[in-house]
Amino acid sequence: MTITEAAKQLGCSTTTVYKYVKSGQINATTTGGHPANKIEISQADLDEFAKSPENLLTKEEVATLKGVSVRTVEAWVLKGKAQAGANVHEAELLLAGGRMIDREAVYNKYDGRCAYTGKLLGDDWQVDHIVPKALGGTDNIDNLVPVLPIVNHYKRCLDNETFKSWLLGGLHERLKKLPKNPYTENGKRRKAYMMKVSEAFGITPDKPFCGELWYERKEDV
């Protein structure tokens, strides 16, 4: 796929994708000519990048990306226009100048629990769009849910059905393939990340995802 197609999947700008290609964080094949047209990214490499816990933006990186000061970014976080620890997708969308989100109303929808796992939220909780804005979702309260940061990062810009069938549905199989004792620091971080995600959803190598998110089971009762 092209950089433009990769940017659409991640919900960010082509400049952001190109930056990660240049830094080696997204594997790509260069075929010559202008970089924007002649760089090919495989779906597998893009998926691998999307699942990495290191692909987060610091306040300084967001400030550089948006051409503003770090203090402005901090003000955005306080006003709910940005989330602390926002990933590439969220930074591009939540810092784009859209209307402010009533975080208190979102938090109270499920009495301070993560909509996807049912776990109690901490101070670092985040807002997720059930239908991602990249796929036409809105900031309407009905499309917003409170979630744990690691769950929000793992879901990224996927719709719920894809999130459940692809990432969560196959997570127990991916757990079986994790090395028992990773040799590299990156391998250790990846394993710790995957274990934390699976623990939040009650998934183990022998216990697959139940098929429904916590708020869906709650509404079925």
- What backbone phi and psi angles, to 5 degrees, belong to 156? 50, -130
Show which of 14, 35, 51 is a domain's final residue. Answer: 51
| pLDDT at residue 201, as a whole number | 96
In-domain check, residue 185: yes
Q: What is the number of domains present in the chain?
A: 2
Counting beta carbons within 10 angstroms of the beta carbon of residue 167, is it exposed (0 to 12), middle (13 to 18) or buried (19 or more)?
Answer: buried
Q: Would residue 36 count as lying in a domain?
A: yes
Structural domain including 191 reads 162-220
Is residue 189 domain-resident? yes
Decide if 38 is inside a domain.
Answer: yes
Say how far apart CA 94 and CA 103 lie, in whole Å: 13
Q: Which of 51, 73, 90 is the last residue of a domain?
A: 51
Where does a domain end: 36, 51, 66?
Answer: 51
pLDDT in tens, 83-126: 554 444 444 444 444 445 678 888 999 999 999 999 999 988 98
71 within some domain: no
Tell me if 39 sits within 8 A of 28, measured CB to CB: yes
- In this prediction, residues 28-35 reach a mean pLDDT of 61
Residue 123 lies in a domain: no
pTM of the predicted model over 0.75: no
DSSP state of 146: E
Pair of tokens at residue 3: 């950089």
- Answer yes or no: is 87 within a domain: no
| Per-residue confidence (pLDDT) for residue 89, from 0 to 100 | 44
Query: Per-residue pLDDT averaged across 179-186, rounded?
Result: 88
Whether 109 maps to a domain, the answer reads no
